[in-house]
Structure formats: structure tokens, C-alpha cells
Structure 1
Amino acid sequence: MTSLPAPRTPDPKSAPAIRWGIVAPGGIARDWTAALHATTASRVTAVGSRAQDRAQAFADEFGVERAYGSYEQLVADDGIDAVYVASPHSEHRDHALLALEAGKPVLVEKAFTRNAAEAKDVIDAARRHGLLAMEAMWTRFLPHLDVVRQCLEQGLLGDVVAVEADHGQQLYPGGPQRLADPALAGGALLDLAIYPVSFAHLALGGFATVRATGTLAETGVDASETIAVVSPTGAIGTLSSTMLVKTPCAASVSGTAARLEVNGWFYRPNTVRLIDPDDRELDRHEPPAREHGLAYQAAEFARLLEQGRTESDLLPLDETLRIMQALDEVRAQLGVRFPGE
């Protein structure tokens, strides 16, 4: 019987302790800090916002030592080792560059920037300064994704022929205002489709062609899209996202010898099932009952920083750039353009 490999992912608790500064204390920053403090040795020691009272409220909630009323003060703090950029997509480039120019390594929320040109600006600055930079695509650093990665590396599935992944959440209308706002790089693509696109890019080894169709919201941002991709070897990917309804959020990788299925919330710590061509389950990987998934990316970053590395092998900067180029193609085909582009 064919079995799945065990994940090679180190326990986040084993990563070295570093001191973090946070740019923009919003919802994702709250979740990330809670995971960091619960399951790693690292701590957030400073937080910056455009409003002093907002920064102070976050600091009080999480026991953060210093709160600043500007991002410039935050990145100038000599008591932090790295900066986590948790602002809206529209601000990622400028905030990442602000940190890098101040000599601070950066973990930048996904999607990395609004577009590939901005991503290249950040990557070029990180390489020019010799500083660590990484996209906070947390799924790439989870144990169950390492199981998928090893299956691909070992050829356990045979020749990969098809990948499917979807991500839909009911976030419009009535959800966060930024998702409806073109000025904040809103829409389903950068918030939701980034997950299936990144997953497929890993599983397929990149995209040779990208074709998209979809619908727009009244404000001009994308509401839903279906993306068809073809890999350099001719394998296909069918990807979709929407901010109008909740979808199964499942993913699969199908090869000539077997397929992998991740059913429901595929981008979170999850079960991976290995299934043969006759639909018989051969093996499964089960995650621990409770995991703070966001901690894995922070732990990876801390290990890289201690090692003097400037990027992660699990999500290299050039791959982040290629993913942003694919997202640019989708937006161009949908007719979505952000102000200032």
C-alpha cells in the first residue's frame, strides 16, 4: 500500500525568538500576533499605526511594549528585528520599502503587492540591501502542504495532469469596506484567489498560460472569477474565487497514479487524502486537533533570519513575482484596474 510522507515542518516553538514590529494593527495583525505569542518564542515588541490611540489599543491588548502613531517611527525602532506589513494591498509596496530602507527585514501580507511592478520594487530593494523579505502566504509553510510538496517531489502521484482549487467567502456586500474599494486594491482576486492560484502554482510548477473570466462588483472591483491555467508540461488547473458566497474551499491534485484531496478550507491546517484511480483511499495525513497556522510562517522567517538567509526556499521571491504576474493577467482580462496603475 502506498503511504503519504510525514511532514518535515519544524515545530514553531523550536524557532529562535525575534522581536517584531507591526505596520497597521488590523484584523490580520490581531490573528497573526495571537498565533505568534501562543506558539512561538518570538514577540511583537512594537506596533505602528497612523493613529496613536489605535496603536496603543493594540499594544494594550497584546502586551506590546511600544506603540507609535506613525509608520516612520515604527521602522526606526532599534528594538525590533523585523517588520510585519499588515496594511491593505494598496499600501504594501510603500510600507515594505519604508521598512527595507530603514534596514529592517520584512514579512509582507499576501497578496504581496497590488501588481508585479510593485512586487519587483520590493524584491529589488530587499536584494539591494541584502535583507530578508518574504510573502506571508501562510499556507505554503503548513505541515499538510509539505506533505503535498513531498508527494510532488517523489512522483507519488505519477504525472500530474489536473489541479483544482476554489475559495469563496460571503464578504460582499456587507463585508469589509476595503474589499469594495478600488483605491485599496479590493476585490476577490488579491484577497481570496491568491490562495488557489498560489496552490496551483506550486502543484503545477508554474503557468505557461492564464485565461480568466468573471464578474465585477458595482464599484469596479472583481466579485468572482474562474481561472484556467496550463503548466509548462501541459497539465491544467481550474481555479475559482468569489466574495459573494461561501464555497467548499477544496483542492485536489490529480496524477496518473493517484490524487491528493484537501476537502474544505484547503489553505488551513488540514487533512490530506491519497486516493487511487479506483477511488480507494490509500492513506491520509491528519493535522493536530488545534494548530495556530499563522505561526508557521513567522517561525520560518525567524529561522531564516538567524541563518542569515534573504529568502525562503518554500516560497522564493521570484515565485512570488511570477504569481503576481499571473494575477496581473487575470485582472487585465477582467478589465480591473486600480487607481494610479
Structure 2
Amino acid sequence: MKTNYNWGIIGLGKIARKFAIDLQSIKNANLKAVASRSLQKAEAFAEDFYADKFYGSYSELINDPDVDIVYIATPHVFHKDISIECLKAKKAVLCEKAFGMNTTEVEEMIATAKAEDVFLMEALWTHFVPHYQYVLKLIEKKKYGKIKSLTADFGFKAPYDENKRLFNKDLGGGSLLDIGIYPVFAAMTLIGMPDKIEAVAKMSETGVDSRCSITFKYKNGAIANLKSTFLKQTPTECIIEFEKATVKLTERFHEPPSTVEITQKNKEKKVIEFPVETLGYNYEAIHVQKMLAQKRKESTVMTFEKSLNLISLLDKIRKDIGLSY
């Protein structure tokens, strides 16, 4: 059984830097190589995070025989092609969300992973952090009864620049795929797949959504109100109304450290802190290594089914708001 894993990172932006920081906290993980289309950027990143090698092309890293796992942190539009190239080179893949641009791309990625018999997982790190796992267990135990409603938002003020990733259609820009995916993921994993979807959006001059409001409706009467925006700072909370209590994942609900507040009628509010010593990316990386140690080719947590369900929801929302890439 392999006990040490050599990681490669493709795409060296902000998230990659956070991931590299947390990788250093995992004793049996080694940052072997990094790749950017700029050799100078790759060299600087390698120096910052003690990577053994750096490359000025993605293919060089993918074909490095010393790399076991590749973390892909490029813009969404490149995820499919890079993932497939990695899988065909027999590299395990942890690919950032959104996994692909649409269901067709995600299906192709999964089909390639199965055909090549290589591990593939969407890097939806929220699923693995302690406070989110705690809330999932609360729901599983049905401690407070059924969920009646869920409200989740994610918003920040982004300077408008049509050439930067957030507003650039060619790079898969828009609030839905970048940050709206988190409220959508929360509703999907905490309540389930909706029976009806309604969505409206404000489109930017570049043709991507700068703001998106989504409603999920369920046959049992539950409802989820979800929002994402680049136009203003929002609380970025997830509030779940159960039959017997209100559970709130506080500010920046998608990441640690976080606080879960539980309010029951005629009872004092219960506040549970979830302090962490890392940025939170280590949890998904540890999980990937655990899966590989068990010789699994699919995550037992962030399954292919979940990734397919998530991208299908994003596709339906995009159809509703008239967003096509």
C-alpha cells in the first residue's frame, strides 16, 4: 500500500496557493510539481511552496512519471480537457468545481475515468469540512424533524473587468458557476434534488450573470431560496428551517472555520464552534489519498452521481436564465 503521494498542481491562481499551503500540513503528501503556461510563474510558485519541479506547460507535468495525483485549478472551461489528458496518462485527478461546463462534459470525464480505471473527483471541498459534515449528520439522524426551508447566499463586490475570469464568457464567467454553485450544492446535499426550479438573473455586458436568484421547490412542501452575486457583499450564510429548530451555518458557510447556531423554541441558542488550523483544503486532499490507499476509483463522499446531479441542476438554471457558453 502506497503511503506517500506526489501531487502536481495545474493552474496556479489564488485557490491553488491555498491548496498548496494546506498540502504542507499533510504528512504523507508531497508537492512534486507545478505547472503554468508561464514558466516564470511556475518557478515562483514552486519556490514559494517547495515543489521539486516546475513546468511551463500542463502536458509536461501530466507526463511526469513521478506525479501520482493532479489537482486542477484552472478556469472551468479547461477542466474537461485537462482532466481527460491526466486520466489517459494514468494520473489520479482532483478537479476544481465547477467540474465541467455542462452535463455532457462531466459525463465524458467520468466515462474516461472508468475506461482508464483511474480515480477522479470533483473538488467540492465544502463537503469534507467539519462543520458541514456535522450538519449532514444532524439531518441524517432527523434530530429536528423534516426540513421546511433552506436559504443560502454567496455574494461579494467584484470590480467589473470584462477580460478577467469572473465576467469573461470565454473563461466560463458568471456568478452561478463561480459562487452560486455553493448554495445550489447546499440545497442538493441537505434537502435533495428539487422537483421544480425557477431562476432569474441580471446579466452583465459580457453576457454572463452578475446576479442569480434561484428557487428550488420540493413535492413535500420544502423550498430553497438561493442567491449569488458579484454586485454586493452578502452574509454568505446557510439557514435551515427544520420542524423543531433553526440551524444556521454562519458567515462564509462554505468554508472553515465556521460556527453552527441551533435555535429551538423556548431554549437557549446553542452555538457550536468548529475551529481548524488550516484553510480547509486539506480535508479533501486527505480523502483523495485515503481513496487511493483503498484502491478506489471513485469517492465514497463526492460521488460521480453527486457531480452529475450538481451539473444537471446548473444546466437547468442556466437554461432558465438564458445563459449559454
Q: TM-score range by the shorter chain?
A: over 0.9
Match of 1:317 in 2: 304
Contact 1:172 1:180 in 2 (8 A): no
Bigger shift: residues 79-88 or 283-292: 283-292
Superposed displacement of residue 71, structure 1? 1.2
Does residue 240 in structure 1 map to residue 227 in structure 2?
yes
Identify the match of residue 257 of structure 1 among 227, 241, 244: 244
Q: Distance in 1 between matches of 2:66 and 2:84?
A: 19
Correspondence for 1:91 among 63, 78, 86: 78
| Aligned 8 A contact 2:34 2:55 in 1 | yes
Residues paired across the two proteins, number: 323
Unaligned segments of structure 1, at least 5 residues? 1-14
Residue identity matched to 1:36:
L
Structure 1 stretch displaced more, 242-251 or 168-177: 168-177
SS of residue in 1 equivalent to 2:261: strand
Report the TM-score, using the length of structure 2 for normalisation.
Answer: 0.95
Q: How far 1:185 sits from its partner (Å)?
A: 0.4
Residues 1-341 of structure 1 mapped to structure 2, 5 A cutoff: 17-173=4-160, 177-231=164-218, 233-269=220-256, 270-278=258-266, 280-281=268-269, 283-288=270-275, 290-338=277-325
Q: 1: CA distance between counterparts of 2:295 and 2:220? A: 35
Q: Distance in 2 between matches of 1:255 and 1:176?
A: 43
Rounded to whole Å, the distance in 2 between the matches of 1:257 and 1:131 is 44
SS in 1 for 2:287: helix
SS at match of 1:267: coil
Deviation at 1:304, TM superposition (A): 0.8
TM-superposed deviation, 1:277: 3.7
CA shift for structure 1 position 234: 3.5
Letter in 1 for 2:91: K
- Inter-CA distance 243–274: structure 2 relative to 1 (3 Å threshold): same
Segment of structure 1 superposing worse, 58-67 or 46-55:
46-55
Mark the runs of 5 or more structure 2 residues left unpaired by the alignment.
none
CA change 1:232–1:315 in 2 (3 A) is farther
- Paired letter, 1:247: T
Note the alpha carbon deviations across 1:23-59, whole angstroms, 9 max, x for none.
1112211111011113553121011222222211211
Q: CA deviation at 1:208?
A: 2.0
Distance 1:289 1:74 in 2: 32
| Bigger shift: residues 306-315 or 217-226 | 306-315
For 2:65 and 2:220, locate their aligned partners in 1 and report how far apart those are by CA, in whole Å.
Answer: 48
8 Å contact kept, 1:157–1:254: no
Looking at structure 1, the residues matched to 317 and 149 of structure 2 have their Cα atoms a distance apart, in angstroms, of 20
Contact 1:249–1:264, Cα closer than 8 Å, also in 2: yes
Q: Distance in 2 between matches of 1:95 and 1:278?
A: 54
Shift of 1:132: 1.3
Structure 2 distance, partners of 1:228, 1:112, is 22
Amino acid of the residue matched to residue 173 of structure 1? Y
Q: Supply the distance in 2 between the matched residues of 1:164 and 1:245 (Cα, whole angstroms).
A: 17
> For the residues of structure 1 that align with 2:174 and 2:5, how far apart are their CA atoms?
34
| Cα distance in 2, alignment partners of residues 265 and 314 from structure 1 | 22
Whether the aligned pair in 1 keeps the contact of 2:152 and 2:238 (CA below 8 Å) is yes
For 1:298, give the aligned amino acid: A
Checking the alignment, whether the CA contact within 8 Å between 1:156 and 1:258 is kept in structure 2 is: no
Partners of 1:234 and 1:263 lie apart in 2 by 25
Greater shift after overlay, 272-281 or 152-161?
272-281
Report the alpha carbon displacement of residue 61 of structure 1 after superposing the two structures with TM.
1.4
The change in CA–CA distance for 1:145 and 1:93 in structure 2 (over 3 A counts) is same
Counterpart amino acid of residue 193 in structure 2: G
After superposition, the C-alpha distances for 1:297-335 in whole angstroms (9 at most, x for unaligned) are 111111111111122222211111111111111111111
Aligned-pair Cα RMSD in Å: 1.7
Per the alignment, residue 12 of structure 1 pairs with none
- Counterpart contact for 1:39–1:292, Cα < 8 Å: no
Identity of aligned pairs, percent? 33
- How has the CA–CA distance of structure 1 residues 278 and 241 changed in structure 2, closer, same or farther, with 3 Å as cutoff? farther
Higher RCO by CA contacts (8 Å cutoff, separation 6 or greater): 1
Residue 78 to residue 233, structure 1, CA distance change in 2 (3 Å): farther
AA matched with 2:60: Q
| Separation in 2, partners of 1:287, 1:315 | 21
Comparing 227-236 with 213-222, which one deviates more in the overlay? Answer: 227-236
